[in-house]
Amino acid sequence: MRARYSTRPFADAPYYSYRVARTARDGAAIEAEMLHHKLYLENPSPPIDHLEVTHGYNLPTINATGPGHGWQWRVGIGVVVAHPEGRVAGNDLSGARTALGGGYHIAGITTQIAVGRRYQLGRGTTHAFAAPEVKVTASWARISVDSVVLRIPNIAFHALGGLGFRHCQ
């Protein structure tokens, strides 16, 4: 089956991203990021009655950011932590026991490439900044619940806007 998914960023559990970084003086950084992506299957067919991965098609990544203080690129690699919900082959996916607990599965791998820019909003050693960014993520997940195995690949375009704080020494 060729699956079609929607994301509905403002419905149910909202779409979000956050990250922490260790930044060098030249602007290069190593980051830990968490992107809470959501997928709703729009064209279910038997044996799938209903499927959504909305409490998370979560993409925690470790990123590297290139040097610079204007436009910057970012690349990252990580895992997919998925929380499926729905009904497949008569099985309720929501109540499954998992190694991570709460219905979460380490389900696969992900990678990302992004470009963004920081706009300083204040002065001093600690200041706020605005950070618009666009990114593409490519992920592959395999979720096994009882006798049901779901393969859920996803390539997605993301447009994000955020606020951050930076402390300079």
pLDDT per position as a tens digit, 89-135: 888 877 666 777 777 889 999 999 999 988 888 887 888 889 899 99
Between 32 and 10, where is the model more confident? 32
Reading phi first (left if > 0) and then psi (alpha if -120 to 50, else beta), residue 132 is in beta
Q: Give the C-alpha separation, 38 to 52, whole Å.
A: 8
Q: Is residue 154 a contact partner of residue 57, using CB atoms and an 8 Å limit?
A: yes
User: Domain spanning 5-167: which CATH class is it, in words?
Assistant: mainly beta
Q: pLDDT of 57-91, one tens digit each?
A: 999 999 999 887 778 999 999 999 998 899 888 88
Tell me the whole-structure pTM to 2 decimals.
0.87
At which residue do the structure tokens 């098609």 appear?
57
pLDDT computed for residue 137 by the predictor:
98
Residue type, 160: L
Mean pLDDT of 40-52: 91
Domain ranges of the chain: 5-167
pLDDT computed for residue 96 by the predictor:
65
CB neighbours of residue 13 within 10 Å: 12
Which tokens hold the place of 127? Answer: 């200041």
Q: Is residue 31 a contact partner of residue 65, using CB atoms and an 8 Å limit?
A: yes
